[in-house]
A and B are shown apart, each in its own frame.
Chain A
Amino acid sequence: MMHQATSRTDPADAFIERLTDCGAFPLRASGIDILQLNITRRCNLSCKHCHVQAGPRRTEMMSRETMTRCIEVAGTEEISTIDITGGTPEMHQDLEWLIIKLAALKKRLIVRSNLLVMLEPAYRRYLDVFAANKVELVGSLPDCNAEKSDRQRGVGTFERVLQAIGELNQRSYGVPGSGLRLHLVHNPVGAYLPGPQAALEAEYRRLLGDRHGLSFNTLFCLVNTPIGRYLDYLKRSGNLSDYMRALQCAFNPQTVTSVMCRTTLSVGWDGRLYDCDFNQMLNLTVNSGAPDHIEAFDYARLAGREIMVRSHCFACTAGAGSSCQGALKT
């Protein structure tokens, strides 16, 4: 198997050096616990930080054939969690069919939603479809300040997300003990890193709970990854250099063993395989030597694959670390 280039001009150099310093290069997967399916890049929003660069004009949709193969793979014994993302998964015409098939596997089933799409008449049924199939929901709410949140996602989005959370709470989502889990996602509205997850979660609970009577299970704090629209913003605002330095200065060796790519396999809308959703947006498929398409899925060959790392990987190892499940160290 070929190791990744380590020439001095390679943009991944700095990250590879840090991994080497802590004896973790090459970084390898330690199994596949989470199968993450990015089924569409279409979205009803065009958020300024979106690494997928999702929006209403995107047309990429996973085919029923590829979904069928994903369902077969999701049945693999070692895979405990199926994580559906996008874009906005609700805007894929086959999402309900997919959820019913995957729910039958009796595994942890996650859908990442912008939540407010479920207020639109065409997608309202998902409030009940998710509840009926005990889907765990992860909803974006970048800040609990309305003005800041709207600056990232669009005017009026904050109020609509609160309305959607209210509807979900009525169906027992986010209510402790109900078995219907609703997590929220915080990510900084600007060129800075998130604070401690526990402190921010307390602030979200204070503002959403005390002021609006809303509840949720957990707050996931995500570091913005410098790719896609967020990278464009960093360049446009003159923050790229400072942000990359901030990420590098915040490198935490203790996060390396638990970065999500070590236990995740990301599937693109066209069935191609990636180490994570970020690599997917950079068209950086799993490395040579391991199958790079769901049709050729081979657990044994993918479970110990070498992870493709680049400079954006610093976002997952900064401070408390960052993953699709929030901070790595709390």
Chain B
Amino acid sequence: MNETYYERRDLEDFPHIGEYAPEPGAKFFEYYATATSAGKLTAREKALIALAVATVRHCPYCIDAYTNKCLSLGVGNDEMMEAVHVGAALVAGDTLAHATQMRKIIKQKEM
């Protein structure tokens, strides 16, 4: 057993994630393929969304996969960084929006 939880080669195991539960696994991959393939949005637009989400979610596998996918699709480094900033801004906004709860409590409690 390896001593670390995350290994780069774990990503290669992703296609086998349906092991032990093949039916939901197969349904997941069908859904995953549909959701991430070109539709109304292009493949590169979806890859940029996925990259931003992967970064926000701190998923090393997804960051690896979608950085490579963006490179493969000819997405510029500046475009990738802009997408990550959208994710970062949303995280910052989400955090600040929750200050409303704090502010409401302060206003309720203070004399």
Contact = CB atoms under 8 A, between A and B. Distances in A.
Nearest to A196: B43
Contact of A200 (B12, B38, B73): B73
B74 A190 contact: no
B42 interface: yes
Interface string A226-249: 000000000000000010010001
Interface residues of B, number: 14
Contact of B73 (A148, A190, A199): A199
B71 A190 contact: yes
B12 A145 contact: no
16 contacts: A143-B74, A144-B74, A186-B74, A188-B71, A188-B72, A192-B68, A192-B72, A193-B68, A194-B72, A195-B43, A195-B69, A195-B73, A199-B43, A200-B73, A203-B73, A242-B8
A255 to B, nearest CB: 17
Interface in B60-111: 68-69, 71-74, 76
Closest 4 pairs (CB-CB, A-B): A195-B72, A195-B73, A199-B43, A192-B71
A148 B73 CA distance: 13
A193 B70 CA distance: 11
Interface range for A: 10 to 19
A199 B12 contact: no
A195 B74 contact: yes
A1 to B, nearest CB: 37
Contacts of A143: 74
Given A145-B74, A192-B68, 19 more contacts: A145-B76, A186-B74, A194-B72, A195-B43, A195-B72, A195-B73, A195-B74, A196-B43, A196-B73, A199-B38, A199-B42, A199-B43, A199-B44, A199-B73, A200-B73, A200-B74, A203-B73, A245-B9, A249-B12
A144 B69 CA distance: 16
A193 B68 CA distance: 8
A186 B71 CA distance: 12
A122 to B, nearest CB: 33
Nearest to A207: B74
Interface in B29-44: 38, 42-44
B72 to A, nearest CB: 4
Nearest to B47: A195
A144 B12 CA distance: 30
Contacts of A249: 12
Interface in A180-221: 186, 188, 190, 192-196, 199-200, 202-203
Contacts of B43: 195-196, 199
B96 to A, nearest CB: 35
Interface in A156-179: none
A194 B43 CA distance: 13
A203 B9 CA distance: 31
A185 B38 CA distance: 23
Interface string B9-20: 100100000000
Nearest to B43: A199
B44 A203 contact: yes
Contacts of A199: 38, 42-44, 73
A193 B74 CA distance: 11
A137 B42 CA distance: 29
B71 A203 contact: no
A242 B11 CA distance: 12
A250 to B, nearest CB: 11
B74 A203 contact: yes
Contacts of A148: 76
Contacts of B42: 199, 202
